[in-house]
Structure formats: structure tokens, C-alpha cells
Amino acid sequence: MTDTRRISIMGSTGSIGTSALDVVQHANAVGDVRFEVCALAAGSDAELLARQAIACSAEIAIIADESRLPELKERLAGTRIEAAAGDAAIEEAASRPVDRVLAAIVGAAGLHSTLSAVRAGNDIAIANKESIVCGGRLILQEARKAGVKVLPVDSEHSAIFQCLGDGRQLDQLTITASGGPFRTASLSEMRSASPQQAAAHPNWSMGIKNSIDSATLMNKALEFIEAGFLFGTEGERIEVLVHPQSIVHGMAHFTDGSVIAQLGAPDMRTPISYALGWPERIATTVDRLDLGAIGRLDFEPVDAERFPAIRLAREAYSHGAGATTVLNCANESAVSAFIAGQCGFLDISWAVEETLNGYFAGSMSGMACDTLEEIALLDDYSRKVAADLLEKARSRVGG
């Protein structure tokens, strides 16, 4: 008998969203698991959103940018697909009953819809790591209350989830980092790197924000915190290891000395299919791993001087949920400035560190961050502080 799953995809027009729709289309074609799509949501790309909604016969398509609603409506005219716009409409759509909501909006902007889905009792396949880094405590608390599962999509966390078994006798977790495009670059090369160079990931095809985070290793910093929240692990028991081939995605170390690793081609369709299909596995068209052809798998420690992000993540995570929110939102602000040509590549981690130091020394330090109000307060504060720091640095050098 075919297992039918009803899903919604928040962030359907992005890298994760389009890979997810590919997984869905293939699964429906081969009949492993049948997916029915309830809601698709996007930021501003009304054209792609409408095409996707028509292709998968979604029930509703929602665009965050309200000015694009007329275009969305026009493109969906003559279909039975509902069109809506705005953040509140996305939250409402995320709460419609489904078996799984794929949270694939980029940035802390995804937090509200994820929370809305959880509160409505929908299981979550979570790609949107920033919402966990900012609102991990709140999301997991609400998930426990509502009895919903939070299934990891991020490749490293999916790997660990696949390796954990019942989680007993766990000693340590490892998340791997490709090292990004500047793994072997000098500090002076990194100082003058352009957004285009920073976004050129050696192994993965991803949205620009995640790609630039990979280049600073801030992606791994966010993932370190994400692993801490998702698996309830202390920072001391999470290792970050550079692995340039991106074949081993994560490992679980057990007290008897066994280490279980998950391997796969660097293609997000595998972890997406695992989270959407769990506890079943769904067939995908991902390239089969040929270790003979790959030949070798290398591992090396993180260079803390060129990549301070991991140290910052350890400090923030040990300080508490407020600090992880500050780290994330300062980073979002600095990455936007870097993409806009308003700061240099190394300024991203510098601005995050300075914003964190200001927070540690200030009156908001130690905030629990288990309400949306507190998260919003720190989100706003950190973005402003990081943007001001970068603005001042720019005017000092006359840029």
C-alpha cells in the first residue's frame, strides 16, 4: 500500500525548497511514498512560486512580499490554488494540518512559521538552522508540549540523527566542515575577497547566505549551536572537523570507542528525503557514492586564527540562548552588508565578535530567549549594533 504524506514547504523557491520538490516529484513517480502538497511559501519570487504550485497541485501559495500578490494571483488565475501574501498568511498556512512542514526559509525570518507549525501539531523537517540558533529553546519546548517531532535536514544533523540509534552511551558528536572556498587562503587573500568569491562553495550548491556562511565557517558555528540544541549536547562534546571532500557529514562517538559515520554525495536531496520520509527511506536520483573513484577522505582541525567563528559559537553556546541569538542576528546583518559591498569579508566575524562582546558586557546579558518577544528584542539589538559597528569602521577608513 502506498504511504501518503501531506506536506507544506516554507521557502519552496530556494535551494532547499527546489531540491525538496524534486524529491517529491521523484517519489510520486516511483511510488515509494506519495506526497500531497498543502502549502508553498516564498519571499518575493511570485513567478517560480506559481509555477511550483501549479506543478505539484498545491492547495495554497503564499508570498511574503505583499506587493507581489497581484502577480501571484494573475499567474494562478484559472486554477483552484489559493493565493495569499504576508507574514501572517505564511504563519496561517504553516498551521494547516499536514504530516510534515519543511522549514526552508532563510534566516531568523523563518522562526514564526516554524513555531506556528509546531504549535498546530505539525511535525517539522528543519532546514532553517537560524531559527534553531535563535529560538531553539522555544521551538523545542513547544514541540515537546505539542508532541511533535523536529527532524533535522541540515546534512550534518541528518547524519548524526541517522547514526545515533537510541542515543544511549553517546560520548561525542562530530560535524564536518568543508572548509569553504578559503580553506587554504591566506588572511590577506581573505581580507580582499569579493562576495562572488566567498559564495563559490567547493562542494555544495546552496543559497547565497548559507554559501557565505560556509566561507567564514559561521555556517559551522551555527551548526555547532544547532547540534547542541537539537541533540541536547554540551558544547564540550561537539567536535568540528574540517573534511574538504564533504562525503562524511557527521559522526556519533559512543562510550565503547565505536564511531558511526554517515556518508553520501554532497547533495541535499538525501537529507531532505530522509526528513520527509522518516521513518522510511525514499528513493532519490542522487549520485551513488563511489569511494574508489574519490580515493581518499581527509580530515584536519579548524584554523582558529583565520576562522574565529567556531570559538565565537562555543562562547555563545556556553553563555546561553540569548548569546546564540545575538551571534546569529549580528551575522545576518554583517552578511547582508558584505553582499551589498559595505564591508570586507573578515569584517563579518569581527562584527559578530564585537556585537557579542557588547552583549556580554551589557544589561541584556543572560537573557533566556524563550519567548518570541525576547528573541525579537535581541534580534533587533544585534542587527543594529553590528550594522553600526560596520558603518563606523567604514567611515574610519573613508569607504
Ligand X SMILES: CC(=O)[C@@H](O)[C@H](O)COP(=O)(O)O
Footprint of ligand NDP (CB under 6 A)? 11-17, 41-45, 64, 90, 104-106, 109, 127-130, 154, 204, 206-207, 209-210, 268
CB of 22 to ligand NDP, least distance (A): 13
Question: Of 114 and 214, which CB lies nearer to ligand X in the complex structure?
Answer: 214
Question: Residue number with the shortest CB distance to Mn ion?
Answer: 154
Residue 180 contacts which entry, ligand NDP, Mn ion, ligand X, none (Cβ below 5-8 A, type-dependent): ligand X
* C-alpha cell of residue 26: 521523484
Residue 253 assigned ligand-binding role: no
Burial 142-152 (b: 16+ CB within 10 A, else e): bbeeeebebbb
Give the whole-angstrom CA distance, residue 212 versus residue 208.
Answer: 6
List 32, 154, 347, 353, residue binding Mn ion (CB under 5 A): 154
The reply to whether 122 sits in an annotated binding site is: no
- The candidate with the shortest Cα–Cα distance to 216, out of 245, 248, 185, is 185
The residue with cell 507549525 is 117
- For ligand X, which is the closer residue by CB, 115 or 248? 248
Task: Return the number of the residue (218 or 316) whose C-beta is nearest ligand X.
Answer: 218
**Nearest residue to 48 via CA among 9, 86, 87:** 9
Handedness of CA 382, 388, 392, 398 (dihedral sign): positive
Cα separation, 125 vs 273, in Å, equals 10
Q: Is 128 annotated as a binding residue?
A: yes
Q: Is 65 helix (H, G, I), strand (E, B) or coil?
A: coil
177: partner contacted, choices Mn ion, ligand X, ligand NDP, none (Cβ within 5-8 A by kind): ligand X
Given the C-alpha cell 535551494, which residue does it identify? 15
216 binds, among ligand X, ligand NDP, Mn ion, none (CB under 5 to 8 A by kind): none
Nearer to Mn ion, 91 or 213 (CB): 213
Query: In the bound complex, what is the minimum distance in angstroms from residue 399's beta carbon to ligand NDP?
Result: 27
Residue by residue, what is the 3-state secondary structure of 335-370? HHHHHCCCCCHHHHHHHHHHHHHHHHHCCCCCCCCC
The C-alpha atoms of residue 161 and residue 262 are separated, in whole angstroms, by 9
List residues binding ligand X (CB under 6 A). 154-156, 177-178, 180, 204, 210, 214, 219-220, 268
Choice between 110 and 358, CB closer to ligand NDP: 110
Q: Is 333 annotated among the ligand-binding residues? A: no
Contacts of 343 (CB under 8 A, 6+ apart): 334, 337, 351, 390, 393, 394
Q: Pick out the residues of the known binding site.
A: 13-16, 43, 128-130, 154-156, 178, 201, 207, 214, 219-220, 223
Q: Pick out the residues of the known binding site for 1-deoxy-D-xylulose 5-phosphate.
A: 129, 155-156, 178, 201, 214, 219-220, 223
